[in-house]
């Protein structure tokens, strides 16, 4: 009888210990999860704020480009420093005029919009694109925007 009682008491202590261990584990997991959710929420808030600032800055660059403002390239270089570095790394002999033309293409302006910005004929923009393709060694079937985007993505 005595051994059965001891066995039950031992079993009871083991059960209490296991329950306490499980409860403690659940409390620690809940605390860790709550802390991580808070951190994730803070980071998402920071990302949203930065995206808003980036969006505003991108809109500013586009507005400066449309006005053909002298500050356009300076602001673009601040906003997209990797693009400048990457294109000059791949094409070191690029002229300033060709670079600014590449920037307009990179910003996804249409040929018609580029013609308005540069105050030239639409056909002149097409000619410049073809000459730029040859100068950069890009096949005529390759979209310049896609090439410039790929260039920025691969060397950044």
Q: Is this model's pTM higher than 0.75 or not?
A: no
Residue 70, pLDDT above cutoff 60 = yes
The DSSP letter of residue 48 is H
Indicate the average pLDDT of the chain: 88
The percent of residues above 90 in pLDDT, for the chain, comes to 53
Give the CATH class of 80-156. mainly alpha
């Amino acid at each position: 009888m005595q051994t059965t009682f001891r066995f039950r008491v031992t079993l009871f202590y083991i059960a209490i210990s296991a329950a306490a261990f499980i409860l403690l584990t659940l409390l620690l997991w809940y605390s860790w999860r709550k802390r991580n959710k808070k951190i994730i929420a803070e980071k998402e808030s920071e990302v949203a704020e930065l995206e808003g600032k980036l969006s505003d800055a991108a809109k500013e660059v586009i507005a400066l480009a449309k006005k053909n403002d002298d500050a356009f390239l300076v602001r673009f270089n601040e906003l997209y420093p990797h693009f400048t570095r990457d294109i000059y790394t791949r094409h070191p002999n690029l002229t300033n005029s060709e670079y600014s033309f590449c920037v307009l293409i990179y910003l996804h302006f249409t040929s018609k919009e580029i013609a308005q910005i540069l105050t030239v004929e639409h056909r002149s923009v097409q000619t410049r694109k073809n000459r730029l393709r040859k100068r950069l060694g890009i096949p005529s079937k390759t979209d310049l925007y896609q090439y410039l985007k790929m260039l920025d993505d691969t060397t950044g």
